[in-house]
Structure 1
Amino acid sequence: MPAPFTFTTFLFFLLVTALLLNASQSLAKHRNPSSLILGLSHSRTTLPIPKVSTVSTKRPSELLDMMEPLREVRDGYLISLNLGTPPQVIQVYMDTGSDLTWVPCGNLTFDCMDCDQYYRSNKLMDTFSPSNSASSSRDSCASSFCTEIHSSDNSYDPCTMAGCSLTTLLKATCSRPCPSFAYTYGAGGLVIGTLTRDTLRVHGSSPNVTRELQMFSFGCVGSTYREPIGIAGFGRGALSLPSQLGFVQKGFSHCFLAFKFANNPNISSPLVVGDLAISSKDHLQFTPMLKSPMYPNYYYIGVEAITVGNISATAVPLSLREFDSHGNGGMLIDSGTTYTHLPEPFYSQLLSVLQSVITYPRATDVETRTGFDLCYKVPCAGNITSADDLLLPSITFHFLNNVSLVLPKGNHFYAMAAPSNSIVVKCLLFQRMDDGDYGPAGVLGSFQQQNVEVVYDLEKERIGFQSMDCASAAASQGLHKN
């Protein structure tokens, strides 16, 4: 979860983060170290720009629907942004836990600190070049987005330092470029850049139709810390992609493919934005969105209990279904966090319940190597994605409004390697929250959302869940190439 702050604090922040390089991270935001053991690497294949038979230049409020494919990689889901004139295709993470959309800028000048492991396994980078776009321009101090990105301090301060007079600031007429910003993420990630305006092209719900949004505001980022790939913010703030497209009062839905499809260029996860995403969805189970007074732009729900197999539901702490007086608490739904995180001591209680019902030998050596807390040696018949999943207990989340979600098989325990001697080691891909009492009490990560249609009904402020074969859904929407 991000918290923007002004550039004047950036040098101090760098000094602090340098001291925390070896500290444990709070959320597995985007690049959780444990996910590296899954053997999945980022796909850098850009999606081709479709042949456009119709180009719509309607205002955002007139756009009805948007449908984009999501490419799965080892620790998240990538959406391709078509930016600029002519279009430059940049792949970025879809992130429901932040607002700002940003892309790496400059083929030679983009710099990412503490990204060595990523660069060793990926030779190509998607970067945006403003100088190669005829429609690119810097956002100005008169822009409400400039105020938004610098909102953690007095919003007038950065533009005053840039030379804007008080009169032009009060009238929102200062034409000076919006000053550089710095933007942080929950696990310690940091990006620094400038707000840029350019044309964004998205795919409509009808085949071969592309819609254009002129003057789309995004971060053109030249330096980052632990953030090698750009991000499309899907929060509810003014800077988010759905908000700028005019969909923040409607909704969107996604159906994340299972990990086995990671880096498969022939199939993509469906992402639908607009009326089509929420129409005819009343048959789903919907739980209300909780309104966080601390982070009103993000998606929170309440968890009442978690069931392991046939054991009676284990009650969760109040913090997972309500906020304290300071706005801390709730369960954050975050596609930018890989694994689900739960607070202590409840997390340890859940581990104890699982240990009491699973009788297979522990693979403690794998636990030590990967950092996961429960790993077991499970018998298998060679197919590590089917029959042996039935040998492990199910996990069910019980949300507010009597909504229950049984995690699809493969969404809790995952094979760490290929079977050996009819044995496969599977680890629980849950982790504990390390933030203490600050911020969300828990996070529902993207791994646990696989093969689940998740519907964000923003008009009615509710979130729906439905188990689904997302590969079949992708095929039905033309996202599966033969």
Structure 2
Amino acid sequence: MSSLQFYLLFLLCLLSLISSISSLDNKTPISLSLHQFNQNPSPNPWQNLAYLASTSLIRAQHLKNPKPNPNPLLTKSPLFSHAYGGYSISLNFGTPPQKISLLLDTGSDLVWLPCTKNYACKNCTFSNTKTQILPFLPRSSSSSKLIGCKNPKCTWIHTPEFLSNCQNCPPNSTACSQVCPPYAIIYGSGSTAGLLLSETLTFPEKIVSDFGVGCSLFSSNQPAGIAGFGRGPPSLPSQLGLKTFSYCLLSRRFDDTNESSSLILNGGSDSDEKDISYSPFLKNPVAGRSVFSTYYYVQLRKITVGGTRVKIPYHFLWPGSNGNGGTIIDSGTTFTFMVGPVFEQVAREFEMQVRHYKRAYDVETKTGLRPCFNISAEKSVSLPELSFHFKGGAIMSLPLANYFSILGNSDAVCLTVVADGRSGTEISGGPSIIFGNFQQQNYYIEYDLENERLGFRKQTC
């Protein structure tokens, strides 16, 4: 189907949606499951690594150059891991509730759903025939309402200047018969477009009314909806007024299984806080006037390999006056991204310390990862420890499985960190380091929004 045909289909769906909806006029623990999301896994493990490395780079390119586009709650939700590289939760929207599976994304804000019976998704194929896209049906919900052009929620996706031209809207009034114009969002590897709805979000112990959610009619390379957990007004934490949220990411060994870990909203750790290391979040100097305000910046001081400090210029570790540089933590990126100069220093240190293994250059070519080492003749594998040192003394010393790919019957291991410039194109601007979910597996990660800090500890998820 051509781009023009998809555009026309989108317009038809838009008109259909407007027609169908316009007539529709204390801390409590809740638990959600976090799943991995599966899209086109290959039986070849190196092809899978190459795919994840590629999508991590595409995601980094988007995060570095994104396109602008008082009610406490405690919830515990199952969290599932997927070969696609992401983790998903299920949320219940509408009246009566409809359960929708969404990808957890701390690097974006809007919560959106595949929507209506006419939902169209280009290049959204699955190798697993049991996987289906189950869209949300606004017509089946008595609480679905289109958000108007003068509704403050409309400014989440459009500038006040753009909305100053709203038609059929009385001056200085929120009453308006014109709906909020459609949104379009680009995620790097995919995109989506649709309309904003006011809906009811139902948890087992709490019902949240007038929740702003995107009703996507068309998507490309984005077969699942997104639960935005970023720092902007449209995100789920912001709309619910959360003080904290935390998760424990299941090991990648459980991709696409029924095993799950937990996402907790407004809840503390299950064990003593003394077990958790904390480091303050960092404000980007231009966050108030840029899309970088969505991201969770952390104050990384240094990186060590095998106890040796990697020589990284300071301006890569902290965002400068132009907003570029610094480190963010992102659940939507698979392999940690580093700008070329930082990655080269890290890779070089590994290469110097692992000279006792042969380089697997053929595997590097197949996967796009490096360095890779041949371990076919080894009875046991010994590799330097990779550690991230944060302000406040917090140190994240990663388990080997979190930074080297070690496959069951493989004769090689690869560093699961990606960098720009590998394909000949540098990714300019934005964060220098994007800490991905592969490096976060089997860690308890806490976003303490009230105290502006990140907490973490090793934990079997």
TM interval, shorter chain, is 0.7 to 0.9
What is the CA–CA distance in structure 2 between the aligned matches of 1:394 and 1:230, rounded to whole Å?
36
**Aligned counterpart for 1:86 among listed residues 86, 90, 96:** 96
Name the structure 2 match of 1:317: 313
1:173 Cα deviation after fit: 2.5
TM-superposition CA deviations, 1:8-61 (whole Å, max 9, x none): xx99xxxxxxxxxxxxxxxxxx989999615999xxxxxxxxxxxxxxxxxxx3
Distance, in Å, in 1 between the alignment partners of 2:244 and 2:195 is: 28
Kindly indicate whether residue 342 of structure 2 is the aligned counterpart of residue 346 of structure 1: yes
Deviations 1:247-305 (A, max 9, x none): 1xx1111111110111221x212111114359952542211111122322320012221
* CA shift for structure 1 position 380: 8.2
Residue in structure 2 matching 1:376, options 373, 376, 385: 373
Provide the C-alpha distance between the structure 2 equivalents of 1:216 and 1:431, rounded to a whole number of angstroms: 37
TM-score, normalising length: structure 2: 0.79
The answer to whether the aligner puts 1:460 opposite 2:423 as a matched pair is no
SS in 2 for 1:227: coil
Tell me the residue number matched to 2:278. 286
Q: 1:271 aligns with which of 263, 267, 271?
A: 263
Q: Note if contact 1:408-1:451 (Cα within 8 Å) is conserved in structure 2.
A: no
Residue 328 in structure 1 maps to residue 324 in structure 2: yes
1:26 aligned residue: none
Give runs of aligned pairs for residues 419-434 of structure 1, distance below 5 A: 419=409, 424-433=411-420
Any gaps of 5 or more consecutive residues in structure 1? 1-6, 12-29, 42-60, 204-209, 382-386, 471-482
Whole-angstrom distance in 1 between the partners of 2:374 and 2:388? 25
Amino acid at match of 2:163: Y
* Secondary structure in structure 1 of the residue aligned to 2:402: coil
Equivalent in the alignment of 1:206: none
Change (3 A) 1:461 1:339: same
> Which one of the candidate residues 221, 227, 230 is aligned to 1:226?
221
Amino acid in structure 1 at the alignment position of 2:416 = L
What code does the residue aligned with 1:192 have? A
**Residue in structure 1 matched with residue 64 of structure 2 by the alignment:** none
- Correspondence list, 1:71-470, <5 A: 71-74=80-83, 75-107=85-117, 109-116=118-125, 118=126, 123-151=131-159, 154-157=161-164, 160-161=165-166, 163-165=167-169, 167-168=170-171, 170-185=172-187, 187-203=188-204, 210-247=205-242, 250-265=243-258, 267-277=259-269, 280-292=272-284, 293-294=286-287, 295-310=292-307, 312-358=308-354, 359-379=356-376, 388=380, 391-416=382-407, 418-419=408-409, 424-433=411-420, 436-470=427-461
Q: CA deviation at 1:79?
A: 0.5
Give secondary structure in 2 for the equivalent of 1:354. helix
Q: Secondary structure of 1:296's match?
A: helix
Letter in 2 for 1:466: R
Contact 1:110 1:221 in 2 (8 A): yes
Q: Percent identity?
A: 36
Q: In structure 2, what is the Cα distance between the partners aligned to 1:113 and 1:226?
A: 6
In the other structure, the counterpart of 1:477 is: none
**Normalising by structure 1, what TM-score?**
0.75
What is the CA deviation profile of residues 95-134 of structure 1, one whole-angstrom value per residue up to 9, with x for unaligned ones?
0001100111134x22233434x46766411211111222
Give yes or no for contact 1:286–1:464 (8 Å, CA) kept in 2: yes
8 Å contact kept, 1:304–1:321:
yes
Which amino acid in the other structure matches residue 338 of structure 1? T
What is residue 37 of structure 1 aligned with on the other side? 48
Q: Amino acid of the residue matched to residue 181 of structure 1?
A: Y
Alpha-carbon displacement from aligned partner over 1:221-256 (angstroms, at most 9, x marks no partner): 011222111110001211111111121xx1111111
Q: Is the 8 A contact 2:247 2:262 kept in 1?
A: yes
Letter in 2 for 1:191: T
SS of 2:139's partner is helix
CA distance in 1, matches of 2:328, 2:46: 20
Structure 1 residues 298 and 278 mapped into 2: Cα distance closer, same or farther (>3 Å)? Answer: farther
SS in 1 for 2:294: coil
Distance 1:318 1:121 in 2: 49
Question: Following the alignment from structure 1 to structure 2, what is the Cα–Cα distance between the partners of residues 355 and 202?
Answer: 50
Distance 1:122 1:373, change over 3 A: farther
What is the rounded CA distance, in whole Å, between the counterparts of 1:426 and 1:219 in structure 2?
A: 41
- The 1:333/1:391 distance shift into structure 2, 3 A limit, reads same
> How many residues are treated as equivalent by the alignment?
397
Amino acid at match of 2:268: L
> Which amino acid letter does the alignment assign opposite residue 251 of structure 2?
A
Alpha-carbon spacing, 1:121–1:337, altered in 2? closer, same or farther (3 Å): farther
Name the counterpart of 1:19.
Answer: none
Match of 1:479 in 2: none
Alignment check: 8 A CA contact 1:90 1:127 kept: yes
Secondary structure of the 1:353 match is helix
